[in-house]
Structure 1
Amino acid sequence: MPDYTVILDDLDVAMRLGIHPHETTPQRVRLSVHLRVRYAHPPSADRIEEVLDYDFVRDGVHALATGPGFALQETLVEAVASLCLADARVREVRVRSTKLDIYPDATVGCEIVRTRD
């Protein structure tokens, strides 16, 4: 069974993320998601129905961004990982979030790797 890595990289969204008073309004957050996906066989018909359509990840992240928000980046990356693992073909997911505007000289982020048992 072949494994493929599907990548959604540098997705910028505005969302509520943080614990500080100035973080109650949406701020820029960049997300990158790497999914290791296992298929029963290599795609042969060159049709989207044979593979994981990464639109569901992008749409899910946008839905999370328009929700009530998160206090912690750790909670955000867990939510994105859970979203991805809802597809049984996903064997492993790596999610990275980065706050882009906290410091003038650095970004701050969090990364998680979750694997299917």
Structure 2
Amino acid sequence: MADYAIILDDLAVQMRLGIHPHEAAPQRVLVSVRLTVDYPKTPDADSIAEVLDYDTIRDGIHALAGGDGFALQETLVERIAAFCLTDPRVRAVRVRSMKPDVYPDARVGCEIVRGR
């Protein structure tokens, strides 16, 4: 088997995320995902059909961001991780969300690791 890390880093989405009244409007959220992916063999045909297409992960995150929103970052990262693990080749996933504009002097976020 061939193990690869697929990385989507600092994807910026606009979404409702938070518990405070000022967070009722969509805000910028940065999402990073690192997937450990098992392929049955080393991809040698140089074809997207052999590998996990990261467009799928990006599109899934955009779909979640376009929904009703979340109160907690913990819920957001759990949903993203669950979505990523629907691909049977994904052995583990690390998901991080960051709200960069909540404070003028810091970013706030949440990170989880999930696996099979």
CA distance in 1, matches of 2:57, 2:83: 7
Moved over 3 A (4+): none
In structure 1, the partner of 2:79 is 79
In structure 1, the partner of 2:37 is 37
CA distance in 2, matches of 1:35, 1:18: 26
CA distance in 1, matches of 2:44, 2:107: 42
Three-state SS of the structure 2 residue aligned to 1:109 is: strand
Displacement of 1:39 in angstroms is 0.3
In structure 1, the partner of 2:112 is 112
Three-state SS of the structure 1 residue aligned to 2:84 is: helix
Displacement of 1:83 in angstroms is 0.6
State the superposition RMSD in angstroms: 0.4
Displacement of 1:31 in angstroms is 0.3
Displacement of 1:44 in angstroms is 1.0
In structure 2, the partner of 1:49 is 49
Three-state SS of the structure 2 residue aligned to 1:19 is: coil
Runs of at least 5 residues in structure 2 that lack an aligned partner in the other structure: none
In structure 2, the partner of 1:95 is 95
TM-score if structure 1 supplies the norm length? 0.98
Instruction: Give the paired residue count.
Output: 116
In structure 2, the partner of 1:61 is 61
CA distance in 2, matches of 1:84, 1:65: 15
In structure 2, the partner of 1:4 is 4
TM-score if structure 2 supplies the norm length? 0.99
